[in-house]
């Protein structure tokens, strides 16, 4: 059980992600992002992790979406990875900061063309009276960008979470789970074991 206690939780995260990618049939990089609105109400949704290194965890979104608006009002959030087949989860908490324009452009340009068209067509999280309206807007955007590459919309970018707390959880027999929490401190990560 001590292999969960390492010098660098980012390395442990990478190791677990490699195992998840081998074990999970779809979207091993799917994570819950939890934010809080100005009204104090929490909100959670699944998004895809699109980058990870020692600087943090990156995802992308429409900045005018509900999550984008909530992040503008409160930059602290929580991430949750749950891999049921591996009986593991990772909880991460910390502040979010915008990715650079170059990072956002590079990721946007790597997406499938129709995903880029969709970013232009969708007023994410806003009421949609009829699905046909969205389909018509997609058609309009296809015409608008015919023969050219759709650039990244101004209201579409990404966030990087700088972790202030990372908890690794592994299932144990009889619900005697293994939980290790990492927090940054004095030039190295501090660890603490929690009761299950």
Q: Is the pLDDT assigned to residue 50 strictly greater than 60?
A: yes
Q: Which residues fall within 8 angstroms of residue 123, CB to CB, at 6 or more apart?
A: 64
Tokens of 65: 């979406």
Residue 25's pLDDT is 87
Q: Point out which residues pair with 88 in neighbouring strands.
A: 83, 170
pLDDT tens figures, 99-123: 999 999 999 999 999 999 999 999 9
Reported confidence tier of residue 2, pLDDT bands at 50, 70, 90: low
| Average pLDDT over every residue of 22-27 | 93
Task: Quote the pLDDT of residue 186.
Answer: 84
Domain ranges of the chain: 2-101+158-194
Give the count of beta carbons closer than 10 Å to the beta carbon of residue 25.
6
Report the SS3 class of residue 29: coil
pLDDT of residue 3: 84
* Span 2-101+158-194 CATH architecture: Roll (2.30)
Q: Is the pLDDT of residue 10 over 70?
A: yes
Q: How many degrees, rounded to 5, is the angle at CA 175 between CA 173 and CA 178? A: 80
31 pLDDT more than 90: yes
148 sits in the region (left: phi over 0; alpha: psi -120 to 50; else beta) called beta
Q: What is the pLDDT of residue 1?
A: 43
Nearest CA to 137 out of 114, 165, 118, 116 is that of 118
Question: What is the model's pLDDT at position 139?
Answer: 97
pLDDT digits (tens, 9 = 90+) for 56-80: 999 999 999 999 999 999 999 999 9
The per-residue pLDDT for range 117-175, each reduced to its tens digit, is 999 999 999 999 999 999 999 999 999 999 999 999 999 999 999 999 999 999 999 99
Residue 134 in 3-state DSSP?
A: helix
Total residues belonging to the chain = 196
């Amino acid at each position: 059980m001590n292999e969960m206690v390492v010098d660098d939780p980012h390395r442990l995260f990478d190791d677990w992600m490699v195992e998840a990618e081998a074990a999970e049939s779809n979207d091993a990089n799917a994570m819950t992002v939890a934010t809080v609105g100005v009204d104090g109400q929490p909100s959670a949704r699944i998004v895809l992790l699109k980058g990870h290194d020692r600087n943090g965890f990156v995802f992308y979104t429409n900045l005018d979406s509900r999550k984008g608006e909530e992040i503008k009002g409160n930059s602290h959030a929580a991430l949750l990875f749950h891999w049921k087949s591996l009986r593991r989860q990772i909880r991460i908490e910390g502040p979010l900061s915008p990715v650079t324009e170059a990072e956002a452009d590079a990721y946007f340009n790597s997406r499938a063309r129709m995903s880029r068209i969709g970013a232009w067509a969708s007023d994410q999280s806003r009421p949609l009276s009829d699905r046909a309206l969205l389909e018509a807007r997609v058609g309009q955007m296809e015409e608008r960008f015919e023969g050219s590459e759709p650039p990244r919309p101004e209201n579409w970018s990404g966030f990087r979470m700088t972790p202030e707390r990372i908890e690794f959880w592994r299932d144990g027999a009889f619900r005697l789970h293994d939980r290790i929490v990492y927090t940054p401190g004095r030039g190295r990560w501090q660890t603490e074991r929690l009761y299950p």
